[in-house]
Each structure stands twice: as C-alpha cells, then as structure tokens.
Homo-oligomer: A and B are copies of this chain.
Amino acid sequence: MASKWNCSLAVGMLLFSNAATCGADWAIVLHGGAGTMPKDQPQETIQAYRAALNDALQRGRNILVEGGSSLDAVENVIRTLEDHPLFNAGRGAVFTHDATHELDASIMDGRTLACGAVANVTTVKHPITLARLVMERTSHVLLAGPGADRFATEVGVDRVQNEYFSTENRRRQLDDAQQRQRVKKQADPLKDSSLQRSDERYGTVGCVALDRHGNLAAGTSTGGLTNKRAGRIGDSPVIGAGTYASNATCGISATGIGEEFIRHAVAFHVSALIEHAGKSLDEAADLVLTQRLPPGAGGIVGIDAAGNIVCRYTTAGMYRAWAKSDGRHDIKIWD
C-alpha cells in the first residue's frame, strides 16, 4: 500500500510539475477605468479605445504564453496603458486643482504577498515600474511625494517633466470641473467640493494576471481625480483597497470613487470573502460592489487561483479586455 501511495504521489507531482511549468493555464484581465461612457461618442474614439486595450492585452498575453511571470505581464500591460494618452494614468493623467499631475500606482505579488506602491509622484514616466522597484529594492511598501521622486532618481527609472502628462482633453475637464466648483461654492461656501462627481473620475488602469507557474499578480495606476487637492491619495496605491493579490484567493484591481474603495477595503474584502465566506470570485466581487459600495461607485477586475476571470461594475461601462490560455478573449466597453 505504501509503495502504491508513493507511486501515485510521484505521478501526481510529476503531472503537477509539468502542468505548472509548461502547459498550465494562464489568464489575464485589464481595465482602463469604469464610468459613464456615452455610447454616442464618435466611432473613431471607440475604435481608439479598443485598439489601445488590444495593444495592452497582446503585450501581457505574449509574456504569459512564453511562460513569463504574472508580475512582468501586469507591469508591462500597465506601462502600455500609462503611455497611452486616452487613459488617466501616466500620459493623459488628469489635472489636480493646481493644474499639475500627481500619479499613484501599486503592484502586488500573490506568491509572496510582496507589494510596492508610490503616491503623488510628479516626474516618473511609468509609476507602475517605480511601485515595483519599491517592492523589490526597499523594505517599504508605500513611498509618497518628493521622497518617492527622489527614490526614482536613485534607481534610475525614466523621468519626464510634469507637463509630459498633460493633454488638451484633460485640461478641458479641469476647466469644466473648476467652473462647476465655483458655481457650487457660491451656493454653499462652507462645503469642500474638490471631489467633482463627473465622468472624469473613472480613468484608472489596472491589470491582473495568472501565469503558467500558478502565480497571481495585480497592479493599478492612476492620475487620480480631476481637480483633486494637492496631496490627495486615492485607493490605487493603497494595498487592500485598489489592489490585492494572493495565490490563496485571487488578484484584484479596482477603479472608481477611491474614497469609497478605501473605506470598504474593496480589493482585500473580495479576497476575504473567498477565503472566509466560501464565496466564488464572481459572488465576492458582486457582493462588495452591490451590497457595500454606493451605487455607481466603479468596477473590479480579478482572477482567482483557478483562472476564473471577473469583470464587474456598477457604472454604465468599463473599458476592459481579457484572454485565457484556452483561446477565449474579449475586449468590451459596455455590457
């Protein structure tokens, strides 16, 4: 009996080892923000979004197909989206109240629970890469402000002038938001209305991947809120709120009203519901979005340890794309 068990175990281990390094499933999902995307926008705009999502998806897919790590896939997908001016991350980031850009990002390794994040960086071309370097080269998790920019100098990542992030579209959104703020301030001088409830809030980008080694990773990057106060940090660089990954449960990247996502510890909450309440990834994401967050707060993408993918949102739409090793894939904006 003992030898039979040992034999079975050996065969099982061999199969597992084989599966884990060569033919195993991989999966990837990414988002470019959730919000009220009017369906009557020009066809060229819709096509430009779809093309950008496809570019990013292919970049991540290629890394995973070749046996690369989920961390590399997540970082590279997000770099692609940070480079693209359509999304509110990297180039194309929204403006603060002071008409500058302050960028946030985080990344987490589901295998080790190692994580890194940066907040309020102003001259780093790819905040997601700096977040990864915080994870890999420091004993800290979160670096913010001038100290984070100084760390960028130490580690030698690509730098840009703050104006590099500016686009005409985002400047128009700031002008509109400040105009609305002036009107509101006249109506209620005591109320701080720096958080504008406008379409422009939801532009965060994020990615979750499961690689052929069975490792999950997740990352998120954003320019934050149009017209935000200098120094405001949302959920994107907060591990447990905008980003979480654990091989034991799932990887999550969130987008929406950052303050609500912090208050409800959204990304970790989904993981906790899988672990402690026996929910599926889909059930957990649905519960947090519909029973905890206020209506229309945003969206969640995620992958569980078995490779199941979730894309859920309570807004009109969410820019998103996914692919799996079984050949299925999709790029969508609305339902």
A141 at interface by CB-CB < 8 Å: yes
Q: How far is the CB of A116 from chain B (nearest CB, A)?
A: 10
Chain A 108-136 per-residue mask, 1 if CB under 8 angstroms from chain B, else 0: 00000111000110000000000000000
CA gap between A233 and B146 in the complex, in Å: 12
CA gap between A32 and B120 in the complex, in Å: 30
Binds B, one of A11-19, A36-44, A223-231, A315-323: A223-231
Q: Show the binding face of A for B, using Cβ within 8 Å.
A: 113-115, 119-120, 137-148, 150-151, 192-195, 228-234, 238-241, 244, 258-259, 262-265, 268-269, 272-273, 276-277
* Copies of this chain assembled into the complex: 2
Q: How far is the CB of A135 from chain B (nearest CB, A)?
A: 10
Given contacts A151-B229, A194-B140, are A115 and B276 in contact (CB under 8 A)? Answer: no
In contact, A229 and B147 (Cβ under 8 angstroms): yes
In contact, B263 and A113 (Cβ under 8 angstroms): yes
Could you say which of A143, A231, A239, A262 has the most chain B C-beta atoms within 10 Å of its C-beta?
A: A231
CA gap between A232 and B272 in the complex, in Å: 27
Q: List 27 A-B contacts (CB under 8 A).
A: A114-B263, A119-B144, A120-B145, A139-B193, A139-B194, A140-B194, A140-B232, A141-B263, A142-B234, A142-B238, A142-B262, A143-B229, A143-B233, A145-B231, A146-B146, A147-B231, A147-B232, A148-B231, A150-B231, A151-B231, A238-B238, A238-B239, A265-B268, A268-B269, A268-B272, A276-B276, A276-B277
CA gap between A231 and B118 in the complex, in Å: 9
Given contacts A239-B265, A268-B268, A272-B276, are A233 and B144 in contact (CB under 8 A)? Answer: yes
Which 9 pairs, one residue from A and one from B, show the smallest C-beta to C-beta distance? Answer: A147-B231, A139-B195, A147-B230, A145-B145, A240-B265, A265-B268, A272-B272, A276-B277, A276-B276
Q: How far is the CB of A153 from chain B (nearest CB, A)?
A: 12
Q: How far is the CB of A168 from chain B (nearest CB, A)?
A: 25
Q: How far is the CB of A68 from chain B (nearest CB, A)?
A: 24
Q: How far is the CB of A192 from chain B (nearest CB, A)?
A: 5
CA gap between A240 and B120 in the complex, in Å: 20
In contact, B272 and A140 (Cβ under 8 angstroms): no
Could you say which of A114, A146, A262 has the most chain B C-beta atoms within 10 Å of its C-beta?
A: A262
Contacts of A147 in B (CB 8 A): 120, 229-232
